[in-house]
């Protein structure tokens, strides 16, 4: 059954001028969620400025400036806003490029609840909305020297168009053959710690005395390119990803024995004896956790490399597969620059305020939000886009065309 449109674009200057101290000087909208009013707007008079959010807490009769996580809209001329699921606001920015116009402001999702609890402050989180889906990332974990890198290299070599590697950040020094931006983003601890604080990392952990972390952008960039993302991270990192909104396949690679692991680390020759001993001490705890924590969907023993690689391919559904081209990455959405939007069930109707002659696709667009996936701190995927045929005599069912 349809619902009456609940969306309206409104300028709140009049509504809030009485007693409330709004910082915004430009365009604003407001949305009520529970006992809070989220006011989204710009804070200066330029035609293009940054987006800001203030919260009016009705129960405490107080304005709050929240901690903002995630990547927020860059260009900002104005927007439409619609509440979805009582936990996130869909924000459609005006005059943006087709790949940059749909955003989600999470105000009470699981991720935001966790962040509020951890920080003790009011938190909101932005996430960019994109069409299409991404294949489940593959998290590969296991003790140092077990062969994770070797197996991942084999997979990327055989299926270069299907897999992409999530390039982690680390504070450890590069090995002689390692390239910055390819094997890792080698960085300084203070810079990495600031980025972690700013919510730019999906997970991070201190491993063998160095800081390692997966930036949200590292994973999303691979998905945007239409490839399946592979993460090589330690067990603590895998645990954090398991608890995040990222739906992934978790694989633990275990060594046939600690003695074989030690032999491999010695043969690789990239660490000092002291570093090798530290890695071996950590390996025992990692193997125990890997096998018993319930984090991992699959455990593979890397005794014979070829056999382990075949098993890996099997569980990824790749045995007998010939490499295919990357699935087309997300398509942009061609929206009218100024519009009004309304929500009916899981569909958002975006209607141009000034009908564009000669370009009917710019007049009315339907955004289907019934299959949304992911969200902050990454992208919100799964948006479906349809155009409405302006010709009422069209023989197309309901006049709705799916954009393919």
Ligand X SMILES: Nc1nc2c(ncn2[C@@H]2O[C@H](COP(=O)(O)OP(=O)(O)O)[C@@H](O)[C@H]2O)c(=O)[nH]1
Ligand Y SMILES: Nc1ncnc2c1ncn2[C@@H]1O[C@H](COP(=O)(O)OP(=O)(O)O)[C@@H](O)[C@H]1O
Q: In the complex, which residues of this chain contact ligand X (CB under 6 A)?
A: 144-145, 148-149, 168, 172, 203, 205, 207-208, 212-214, 232-234, 236-237
How far apart are alpha carbons 128 and 350 in whole angstroms? 18
302 binds, among ligand X, ligand Y, none (CB under 5 to 8 A by kind): ligand Y
Provide the 8-state DSSP code for 75.
-
> Least separation, in Å, of the C-beta of 192 and ligand X?
10
Q: Report in angstroms the alpha-carbon separations of 377 from 72, 241, 290.
A: 11, 11, 25
Distance CA 237, CA 231 (A): 10
229, 231, 235, 238 alpha-carbon torsion, rounded to 10°: -30
Q: Which does 23 bind (CB under 5 to 8 A by kind): ligand Y, ligand X, none?
A: none
- The Cα–Cα gap between 387 and 399 comes to 8
Q: For strands 67-70 and 79-84, give the pairing.
A: unpaired
Give the integer Cα–Cα distance in Å for 195 and 204.
11
Neighbours of 220 (CB within 10 A): 24
- Give 156's Cβ-side CA count (13 Å radius): 15
- Nearest approach, Cβ of residue 205 and ligand X (Å): 4
Minimal distance, residue 176 CB to ligand Y, in Å: 14
| Closest distance of CB 168 from ligand X, Å | 3
Catalytic residues, by residue number, are: 175, 268, 279
234 binds, among ligand Y, ligand X, none (CB under 5 to 8 A by kind): ligand X
Q: Which does 95 bind (CB under 5 to 8 A by kind): ligand X, ligand Y, none?
A: none
Where does residue 170 rank: exposed (0-12), middle (13-18), buried (19+ CB within 10 A)?
A: buried
Of 31 and 207, CB closest to ligand Y: 207
Among ligand Y, ligand X, none, what binds residue 389 when CB lies within 5 to 8 Å by partner kind?
none
CA distance 41 to 39: 7
Closest distance of CB 214 from ligand X, Å = 4
Residue placing its CB nearer to ligand X in the complex, 107 or 283: 283
Binding residues for ligand Y (CB under 6 A): 142, 144-150, 264, 267-268, 302, 304-305
237 binds, among ligand X, ligand Y, none (CB under 5 to 8 A by kind): ligand X
Helix (H) or strand (E) holding 228: strand 228-232
| CA distance linking residue 370 with residue 368, whole number of Å | 6
Nearer to ligand X, 152 or 383 (CB): 152
Give the relative orientation of helices 235-243 and 273-292 as an angle to the nearest 10 degrees. Answer: 40
């Amino acid at each position: 059954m349809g619902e009456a449109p609940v969306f309206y674009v409104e300028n709140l200057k009049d509504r809030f001028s009485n007693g409330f101290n709004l910082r915004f000087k430009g365009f604003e909208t407001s949305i009520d969620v529970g006992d809070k009013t989220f006011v989204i707007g710009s804070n200066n008079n330029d035609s293009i400025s940054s987006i800001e959010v203030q919260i009016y807490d009705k129960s405490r009769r107080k304005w709050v400036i929240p901690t903002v996580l995630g990547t927020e809209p860059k260009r900002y001329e104005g927007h439409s806003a619609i509440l979805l699921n009582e936990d996130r606001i869909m924000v459609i920015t005006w005059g943006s490029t087709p790949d940059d116009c749909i955003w989600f402001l999470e105000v009470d999702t699981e991720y935001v609840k966790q962040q509020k609890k951890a920080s003790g402050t009011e938190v909101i989180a932005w996430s960019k909305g994109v069409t299409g889906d991404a294949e489940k990332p593959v998290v590969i974990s296991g003790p140092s020297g077990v062969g994770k890198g070797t197996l991942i290299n084999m997979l990327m070599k055989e299926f270069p168009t299907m897999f992409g590697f999530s390039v982690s950040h680390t504070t450890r020094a590069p090995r002689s053959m390692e390239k910055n931006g390819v094997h890792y983003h080698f960085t300084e601890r203070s810079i990495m710690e600031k980025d972690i604080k700013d919510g730019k990392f999906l997970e991070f952990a201190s491993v063998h005395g160095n800081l390692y972390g997966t930036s949200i952008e590292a994973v999303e960039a691979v998905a945007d390119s239409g490839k399946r993302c592979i993460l090589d991270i330690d067990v603590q990192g895998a645990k954090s990803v398991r608890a995040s909104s990222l739906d992934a396949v978790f694989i633990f690679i275990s060594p046939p024995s600690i003695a074989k692991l030690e032999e491999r680390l010695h043969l690789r020759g990239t660490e000092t004896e002291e570093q090798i001993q530290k890695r071996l001490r950590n390996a025992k705890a990692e193997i125990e956790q890997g096998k018993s924590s319930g984090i991992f969907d699959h455990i593979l023993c890397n005794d014979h490399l070829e056999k382990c690689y075949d098993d890996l391919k099997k569980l990824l559904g790749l045995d007998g597969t010939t490499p295919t081209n990357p699935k087309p990455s997300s398509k942009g959405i061609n929206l009218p620059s100024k519009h009004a939007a309304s929500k009916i069930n899981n569909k958002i109707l975006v209607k141009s305020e000034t009908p564009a002659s000669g370009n009917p696709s710019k007049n009315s667009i339907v955004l289907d939000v019934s299959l949304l996936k992911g969200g902050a701190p990454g992208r919100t995927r799964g948006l479906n886009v349809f155009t409405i045929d302006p010709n009422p005599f069209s023989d197309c069912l309901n006049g709705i065309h799916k954009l393919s």
